[in-house]
Amino acid sequence: MSELTGLTIRSLDLAQGQIVVLGKGAKERIVPVHRHAIEALREYLRDSRPKLTRPESSEAVFLSTRGHALSPEAVRRIINHNLATAGSAAHVSPHALRHTFATHLVEAGQTSAPCRSCSVTLRCPLRRYTLT
């Protein structure tokens, strides 16, 4: 969650389809972003974020209704609220989200090699999910 909540406007390179995340040990990772996520980010940055921005707002990408950077706990609450709205009683941990993301990549034919650079973001390199 800290990688997500730590994203800044400067860390986005939507033209190149990537973001730079700061992981453990202040290590920078370049993470590719799917075109649908880029479209959603552009829409959020154009339509929603300006309504949340206050004079004292940080450079954080994702802001609270008060214009402050979202905290990891706020992101968890948003995820769990949306799960409940969708009819799920389950609470999802960050680990479960990373596992699901990695599983989807494997199912889509992604190998572990290209994703080693983003293993800090995933915290579960895809090699765990492959039989190679």
Question: Are 22 and 87 contacting, i.e. CB atoms less than 8 angstroms apart?
Answer: no
Question: Are 31 and 17 contacting, i.e. CB atoms less than 8 angstroms apart?
Answer: no
Predicted confidence (pLDDT) per residue in 64-92, tens digit: 999 999 998 998 888 888 888 888 767 77
Contacts of residue 91, Cβ cutoff 8 Å, sequence gap at least 6: 80, 83
With a cut of 80, say whether residue 131 has pLDDT above it. Answer: no
Task: Please provide the average confidence, as pLDDT, over all residues in the chain.
Answer: 79
Strand 28-32 versus strand 12-13 pairing type: unpaired
What is the distance between the alpha carbons of residues 125 and 92, in angstroms, rounded to a whole number? 19
Beta strands in 1-132, from DSSP E residues, in sequence order: 12-13, 18-22, 28-32
Select the more confidently predicted residue: 59 or 23. Answer: 59
Predicted confidence (pLDDT) per residue in 31-63, tens digit: 888 889 999 999 999 999 999 999 888 899 999
What is the distance between the alpha carbons of residues 67 and 43, in angstroms, rounded to a whole number? 18
